[in-house]
Amino acid sequence: MTFWKIMDWVVDSLAAACLLVMSSVLALEVVFRYVLNRPLSWTLEVSLFCFIWLVWLGAIGSMREERQIRIDFAETYSPNQVKRILLPVNTILSMVFLLFVIYYGVLVTESQMSAVYDILPFSRAILYASAPVGGSLMFLTLARVLVRQIRRYSPGQKA
């Protein structure tokens, strides 16, 4: 398997695991709160943790398939000569933005190293690390997308 296939599999598996854990924990909370009348104290923090990581990992998957949120009017109705420039420039601007996300995400994560959850036995930095980790994986994914866009719209290729 190639590096990209392994990375895609790991990201998709982690996203699925986060979704499964979050759904299970929320279902468990409903049962304990409304059926057994004994609410659990840790479910909110675990479900929030899984949700935030799921959002970042899901965004990586959407970027991989070039389905991120964007205004595609110009992209849809532009000739290939314009698309050849417009799409890579858009991707490069997204990559520049992700560099800021990574940089400031690291700063925030470092500032949270000593903060711990009220109930869970680990640092809040693990939650905040989702931004630099997710941003880094998105950056790698967009680098792959950029190469794909350049190849797709290079002279001699049919779009």
In which residue are the tokens 């986060």 written?
18
Q: Half-sphere exposure (CA, 13 Å, Cβ side) for 153?
A: 18
The answer to whether position 94 is within a domain reads: yes
Query: For the chain, how many residues are written?
Result: 159
Q: How far is CA 92 from CA 53, 66, 86, in A?
A: 24, 13, 10
Buried b (16+ CB within 10 A) or exposed e, 54-77: bebbbbbeebbeeebeeeeeeeee
What residue numbers bound the domain in which 67 lies?
3-152
19 located within any domain: yes
Do the domain assignments include residue 159? no
pTM of model > 0.95? no
**Within-domain flag for 64:** yes
Query: Which one-letter amino acid corresponds to residue 148?
Result: R
For every residue of 111-159, which 3-state class applies, written as one string? HCCCCECCCCCCECHHHHCHHHHHHHHHHHHHHHHHHHHHHHCCCCCCC
Per-block mean pLDDT, blocks of 10 residues, the chain (159 long): 89 96 95 91 90 95 83 76 84 94 95 83 89 95 91 68
In a domain, 13, yes or no: yes
Within a domain: 157: no
Question: Would 23 be classed as within a structural domain?
Answer: yes
**Residue 139 belongs to some domain of the structure:** yes
Report pLDDT for 155.
67
**Number of independent structural domains in the chain:** 1
Residue 76: what pLDDT?
79
d(CA 58, CA 6) in angstroms, rounded, equals 16
Among 131, 72, 57, 59, residue whose Cα is nearest residue 99? 131
The predicted pLDDT at position 113 comes to 87
